[in-house]
Structure 1
Amino acid sequence: MNRALLIALSLAGLLIAGCGEKAQTSTASFKKSDTPAWQGAPGDPFVAKGWTPGDRDSWVRQIHERNQYQNEYNKTP
Structure 2
Amino acid sequence: METAQNQQQAVCGKEALDLLNCVAQSPYDQEKCVALLQSLRQCVLNKKVKKFSLAEPHKEQADSSMIWSKTETWKWSTKLSH
| Alignment TM-score, normalising by the size of structure 1 | 0.24
Larger proportion of strand: 2
Larger proportion of helix: 1
Question: Looking at CA atoms only, which structure, 1 or 2, has the larger radius of gyration?
Answer: 1
| Alignment TM-score, normalising by the size of structure 2 | 0.23
